[in-house]
């Protein structure tokens, strides 16, 4: 099975528990995660303006992400942006980065600005993180369960159980995935 290439929209980064799962899935070779520098800039603003983080806290979080793997950050997309048509022109850079990365998915909470009829000609699909993770769990249950076990076991301040992790994911509107994980780990 080919690993899907997944572009993370800026609204995924402030949901740190979700981001942790996505990066662990990448680390475990279940998916390939990508983003652009502009997406990280948007994520930084969202962390400060919507999540109440200080600029230093936002920079610290993103400093862990940037050096993970140089291939995660996509370049050479800006020439694609002007020709793209989306409901919100401010989101064209996200689609441009996805196209430059040859991404299969854009994982975003902002589906209204990435309508399927606008994306179908580009062979990229915008999906809610709950749908994406649920599909990945169906496709590669062992890999996803292993990644989730790694996420839970890496938490020691404070320690977490799988049940606590899944409860928190439900608060992030990841109900289907949390339910699927619950069934998979019984």
Mean pLDDT of 28-33: 96
Question: What pLDDT is recorded for position 71?
Answer: 79
Asked if CATH classification 3.40.50 holds for the domain at 5-128, the reply, yes or no, is yes
User: Does the structure show a pLDDT above 70 at 67?
Assistant: no
Question: What pLDDT is recorded for position 66?
Answer: 64
- Contact by Cβ (8 Å): 123, 26: no
| pLDDT band at 64; cut points 50, 70, 90 | confident
User: Does the structure show a pLDDT above 70 at 68?
Assistant: no
Question: What pLDDT is recorded for position 63?
Answer: 84
pTM of the model: 0.94
| pLDDT band at 157; cut points 50, 70, 90 | confident
SS3 42: helix
Radius of gyration of the chain (CA): 16
Mean pLDDT of 36-51: 94
| pLDDT band at 110; cut points 50, 70, 90 | very high
Alpha helices in the chain (DSSP H): 16-27, 37-49, 55-65, 92-101, 116-119, 129-139, 141-153, 162-171, 175-184
Q: Percent of the chain having pLDDT more than 90?
A: 85
What's the CA angle centered on 26, arms 23 and 30, to 5 degrees?
135
- Where, residue-wise, is CATH 3.40.50 in the chain? 5-128
CA distances from 25 to 54, 135, 143 (A): 28, 13, 8
Average pLDDT, rounded, for the chain:
94
């Amino acid at each position: 099975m080919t690993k899907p290439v997944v572009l993370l929209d800026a609204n995924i980064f402030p949901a740190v528990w979700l981001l942790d799962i996505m990066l662990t899935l990448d680390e475990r070779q279940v998916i390939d995660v990508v983003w652009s520098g502009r997406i990280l800039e948007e994520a930084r603003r969202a962390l400060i303006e919507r999540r109440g983080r200080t600029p230093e806290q936002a920079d610290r979080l993103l400093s862990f992400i940037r050096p993970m793997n140089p291939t995660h950050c996509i370049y050479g997309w800006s020439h694609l942006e002007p020709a793209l048509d989306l409901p919100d022109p401010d989101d064209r850079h996200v689609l441009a980065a996805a196209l430059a990365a040859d991404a299969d998915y854009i994982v975003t909470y902002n589906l209204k600005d990435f309508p399927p009829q606008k994306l179908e000609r580009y062979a990229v699909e915008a999906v809610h993180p709950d749908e994406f993770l649920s599909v990945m769990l169906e496709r590669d249950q062992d890999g996803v369960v292993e990644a989730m076990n790694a996420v839970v076991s890496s938490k020691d301040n404070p320690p977490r159980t799988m049940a606590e992790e899944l409860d928190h994911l439900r608060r992030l509107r990841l109900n289907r995935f949390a339910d699927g994980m619950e069934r998979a780990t019984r």
